[in-house]
Chain A
Amino acid sequence: MSRAPLPYSQKILDLFRNPKNLGKMEDATVSAVAGNPACGDMITFYLKINDQDVIEKASFESYGCAANIATSSIVTEKVKGMKLEDAWKITWKSIAEEIGGLPAVKFHCGILAVGALRRAIRTYYKNKQATPEWLPKDQTFEEKQALEEEELAKILSKKMKMAEEK
Chain B
Amino acid sequence: MIENVKELLKAHEGIIREVYLDIENSSMVPKEIVEAMLPYFNQRAYGNPTLTHKPGWEAFETIMESAQKIANFIGCKTLEEVNFTPGETEANNLAILGTALQMKEKGKKIVISEIEPLSVMHVAEMLTKHGFSVTKVPVNSEGFINLEKLKETVDSETVIASFSMVNHEIGTIQPIKEAVEIVKDKNQEAIFHTDASDAYGKIKLDVQKLDADLVTISSYKILGPRGVGALYVKEDTKIERIIEGQIGTQKLWPGIENTPLIVGFAKASELAFQNFEDNVNHMRRLRDMLINGIFEKISDVRLNGPKNEKRAPDNVNISFLRCEGEALTIELSLSGVYVSSGSACTRRLLQPSHVLIAIGRIFEEAHGSILMKVTRYHKDEDINHVLEVMPKAVERLRGITGSTGVG
- Name the interface size band of chain A: 35 or more
Cα A117 to Cα B344 in complex, Å, equals 23
Pair B402/A24 contact, Cβ less than 8 Å = yes
A19 at the interface (CB under 8 A from B): yes
User: Separation in Å of the B361 CB from the closest CB of chain A?
Assistant: 9
Checking A4, A63, A157 against B347 with a beta-carbon cut-off of 8 angstroms, the contacting residue is A4
Provide the A8-35 mask, 1 if CB < 8 A to any CB of B, else 0: 1110010011010011100000000101
Q: How far is the CA of A68 from the CA of B5 in the complex (A)?
A: 18
- Report yes or no: A1 in contact with B347, Cβ–Cβ below 8 A: yes
Contact stretch, chosen from A40-48, A83-91, A121-129: A40-48
* Least CB distance, A63 to chain B, in whole angstroms: 4
Which of A22, A65, A153 is close to B406, meaning CB atoms less than 8 Å apart?
A153
User: Pick the contact of B326 from A13, A42, A66, A153 — CB < 8 Å?
Assistant: A66
B33 to chain A, nearest CB (A): 26
Mark each residue of chain A from 81 to 119: 1 if its CB lies under 8 Å from any CB of chain B, else 0. 000000000000000000011010100100000000000
Query: Is the CB–CB distance between A62 and B11 below 8 Å?
Result: no
In the assembly, what is the distance between CA of A164 and CA of B363, in Å? 12
Is B256 an interface position by the 8 A CB rule?
A: no
B399 in contact (CB, < 8 A)? yes
Interface-forming stretch among B40-48, B352-360, B383-391?
B352-360
Complex Cα distance, B401 from A63, in Å, reads: 4
A54 within 8 A of B: no
Q: Is the CB of B347 within 8 A of A7?
A: no
Are B118 and A1 touching (Cβ within 8 A)?
A: yes
Q: With an 8 A cutoff between CB atoms, is B407 at the interface?
A: yes
A9 CB to closest chain B CB (Å) equals 5
Q: Which residues of B contact A6 (CB under 8 A)?
A: 326, 346
A7 and B343 alpha carbons, distance in the complex (Å): 17
Bound Cα distance A19, B400 (Å): 9
| Contacting residues, chain B, for A108 (C-beta < 8 A) | 350
Chain A residues contacting B11 (CB-CB under 8 Å) are 10, 13
Chain A residues, CB < 8 A from B406: 35, 40, 42, 63, 149, 152-153, 156
| Chain B nearest CB, measured from A149 CB (Å) | 7
Take A3-B346, A7-B8, A10-B4 as given contacts and tell me if A166 and B354 are in contact as well, using a CB distance cutoff of 8 Å. Answer: yes
Q: How far is the CA of A72 from the CA of B357 in the complex (A)?
A: 29
Question: Is there contact, CB below 8 Å, between A61 and B403?
Answer: yes
A80 within 8 Å of B by Cβ?
no
Considering the complex of A and B, which 4 residue pairs feature the smallest CB-CB distances, nearest first?
A61-B402, A65-B345, A10-B7, A7-B1
